[in-house]
Structure 1
Amino acid sequence: MRRFVTSLLCAAAIAAAPQALAAPASFKIDPTHTFVHFEIMHLGLSHFTGRFDDVDGSIVYDREAGTGKVDIRVQVASANTGVEKLDQHLQTDEFFHAEKYPEVRFVGDQFTVTDGEVLAVSGELTLLGVTRPVTLQFTHFNCLDAHPMARVPACGGNAVTNIKRSDFGMDAYIPAVGDDVRLSVEVEALIPQEDGEGA
């Protein structure tokens, strides 16, 4: 549910990148190094966690203008809690209703920049066909002139946000299963190679 966010971190990283990444720069999310984690209270006992393993998308950032756009797509079928029966339950209409809404999407184009550093990206999160405003706050980001394996510019980082699942119409088992969801994203993105392959 959360981790959609994330790619926004890359956008932030691009802002702080060296001159080699002069604007505008277009990055593609590396799905093998990008994940969205979610954390939610269970029965008032502990925070239960899981993640989405299939995340992709793109980032375009104009460093000089401080503008850009992030488009992140999360595949609901990739929800992974480590418990197979729970993973299957999350696909039902009590939660993600994966058959009807197979994708969660974040699109953001409002960048908060201070002294050339991107601190947040705001946009809209669409879940269960409902779209709400969401802001991703960056806790870390960095860029490399050349990825050590792909040998192209790369950016990555970590972002967090909090949402209420009931705002999107997902209200099953509240309050036993919490309404507040913390999303964290670990993202890496690279300027695409000519052959379209990542590293």
Structure 2
Amino acid sequence: MALALLRRRRPKGASAEAAGLSLPLPPGAGAVGREVVDPMGSPMAAADVTVTALDTHRVVARGTTDPYGFFLAALPPGQYSLLIVTEGLQPHRETVGIVAGTAAPTERVWLQPAQALELPAPGTWLFDPPHTAIRFIAKHVGMAHVHGRFERFDGGIQIAQDMTQSRVHVRIDASSITTGNNTRDNHLRSADFLHVERFPYIDFASTRFAYRGGSKWTLQGSLTMHGVSRSVSLDTTYLGTVNGGYGEELRCAALAKAELHREDYTLNWRSMLARGIAVVGPTIQLELDVQAMYRTHDTPTPPE
């Protein structure tokens, strides 16, 4: 079983090998422990650890390292695969043998930097609408979730030599909103919500790409909806580049998420409730699942 707490008698500055563990083992069990550190030797808290029995291929223990980077599990005798994973660093895998009545010395594991995904080449990248989705999730009067999407949009990415100076622009046709219910969709298009006759577009324009480590970025920018502009941060996972799709064109992919507050855009949720209007809730989860093609003289035109 995985043990959430370790009782350590450890002088300040002592190595893992010097640590004395006070651990009563279950009858017939052994134990394995690891101290996980980053490339600089600092403790890696909350790293995911999975222990799999090699004879049955079943996961027998799963947990995370504690605030000091330690993980310990008591296990039946046998051979096991130990996998340690955390964002932005290479996974560590090893085989360990467990002997009944024995707690093996706690060894230190140094996680190494993950191989970085190749960033998009500088230049213009155009959204590929058939392989891009703009979705949202909201609660319906605080109860069930409403899932929807926008069906018409365009946009692109201007990649700079300095990635942090790159830019993204997205323009969404507000009238293309769909949630799978015509009555609700027409209401969302009305003056109570998006007021698409007066405000036909929703626009996002980034101002900065902020690198957060590994494949994570934050796209800071402005979202304009219902005639109001507000600062928004898109938590973005970069998924890499690949050749192919319609031919051998170069394309990149990313997944971005943000939480929007309706009242920031003068969509007054409380007022609508007071008037007896059935509405979606005050916060909306927005998700952009994007594929973009590198623009050249022979970039293919996406099918309608």
**Is the TM value for this pair above 0.5?**
yes
Secondary structure of 2:257 counterpart: strand
Partner of 1:198: 302
Q: Distance in 2 between matches of 1:140 and 1:194?
A: 26
Would you identify which runs of 4 or more consecutive aligned residues in structure 1 move more than 4 Å? Answer: 114-118
Answer with 1 or 2: which has the greater Rg: 2
CA deviations 1:156-196 (Å, max 9, x no partner) are 12111001011101114359631111111111110135355
Larger mean Cα displacement after TM superposition, 62-71 or 109-118 = 109-118
TM-score between the two structures when normalised by the length of structure 2: 0.55
1:30-179 correspondence to structure 2 within 5 Å? 30-114=128-212, 117=215, 119-144=217-242, 146-172=243-269, 173-174=272-273, 177-179=280-282
Partner of 1:17: 118
Instruction: Check the 8 A contact 2:127/2:155 in 1, yes or no.
Output: yes
Contact in 1 for aligned 2:216/2:235 (Cα 8 Å): no
Q: Deviations over 1:106-147 (max 9, x none)?
A: 000211124685511100000011000000001452211x22
Change (3 A) 1:42 1:152: same
Give the SS at the match of 2:185: helix
Mean Cα deviation higher: 157-166 or 172-181: 172-181
Measure, in 1, the Cα distance between the counterparts of 2:239 and 2:196: 32
Gaps of 5+ in 2: 1-115
Structure 1 residues 101, 147: CA separation in 2 closer, same or farther (over 3 Å shift)?
same
What does the per-residue CA deviation read over 1:35-86, in whole Å, with 9 as the maximum and x for residues that have no partner? 2111111122211111111121110112545321111011111101111111
Structure-1-length-normalised TM-score: 0.81
Shift of 1:88: 1.2
Structure 1 residues 153, 85: CA separation in 2 closer, same or farther (over 3 Å shift)? Answer: same
Structure 1 SS opposite 2:130 = coil
Q: Distance in 1 between matches of 2:250 and 2:173?
A: 26
Alignment identity in percent?
Answer: 28
Deviation at 1:151, TM superposition (A): 1.5
Which amino acid in the other structure matches residue 148 of structure 2? G
Give the superposed CA RMSD: 2.3
Q: How many residues in Structure 1 have an aligned counterpart in Structure 2? A: 181
Distance 1:93 1:131 in 2: 18
